[in-house]
Amino acid sequence: MNEILQVLDKLTLSQTPFEDCFQCLDSKVIKKKYSRGEVIISEFEEGRGVFFIHSGLVKLTKLDKNGKELIVSLKTRGDIIAESGLFNKREYLYTNTATMIHEGEILYINTSLFEAELKACPLLTEKVIQNMGEQIEEFSTRLFERAYLDIYSNLLITIEKLSKKFGRRLNNKIYIDLPISVYDLSLLVGATRESTSRALSKLKSTHLIELKEKRIIILDWDKFSSLL
């Protein structure tokens, strides 16, 4: 099976096969393995292609006006990176920096080649546009949360989002299967490491979460969700 199709689980509609859309692309796809901490693209780099996560975990970050790094979102298998440059008639820079958190493999396709495939496959185009809309909504929501909510509330929302994307439920507990440090949490929350650590200690004192081997466990999902 075409390697792109293998990672497009999140874009594939049930009973909507996309095999015919990628018959000629296999030979033009570049696969590369990235180590932890390796930069895939930079927001200061000229955009040239679209990336698909085959395996691993990627963080998308952006620098604010003070040069502080903020995590925009976390991406995993099946997610697309740099799709905002599609059908851009002028030269452009990537909107975010993408860095590998857990080593994995990334598929790369030249933008113009992928655009040609999208023109030939309207159903896939619809799903890519939907994905772009979700990314814009996620970014706008995150900006609002950082601007108007306190650090503790932001931490609660961040953990909830992590639980939805990486959580595994067992009875009333949620195990977030993602090793994450206090520093990483601070980048997601948009606060200093010290402030995030204090908010995390406050949350741990409620006995609703615990950290075990850098993994967050929500001990009582019903009570935790009532705080949101």
| CATH value of 150-226 in 1.10.10.10, 1.10.3720.10, 3.30.465.10, 3.40.50.2300 | 1.10.10.10
Residues in the chain: 228
The pLDDT of residue 13? 42
Measured over the CA atoms of residue 129, residue 135, residue 137 and residue 143, the dihedral's sign is negative
Q: CA–CA separation, 114 vs 136, rounded Å? A: 21
Tokens 């992928």 belong to which residue? 114
Tokens 């929500």 belong to which residue? 218
Q: CA–CA separation, 227 vs 156, rounded Å? A: 8
Tokens of 223: 């009570």
- The residue ranges of the chain whose pLDDT is under 70 are 1-27
Q: CA–CA separation, 176 vs 212, rounded Å? A: 10
What are the residues facing 107 on neighbouring strands?
Answer: 31, 52
Report which of 109, 106, 85, 81 is spatially closest to residue 21, judged by C-alpha positions: 109
| CATH value of 3-147 in 1.10.20.10, 2.60.40.10, 3.90.1150.200, 2.60.120.10 | 2.60.120.10
What percent of the chain shows pLDDT beyond 70? 88
Q: CA–CA separation, 116 vs 111, rounded Å? A: 9
Instruction: Indicate the pTM of the whole model.
Output: 0.78
What are the tens digits of pLDDT across the range 127-185?
Answer: 788 878 888 888 788 878 888 899 999 999 999 999 998 999 999 999 999 888 898 89
Domain boundaries, the chain: 3-147, 150-226
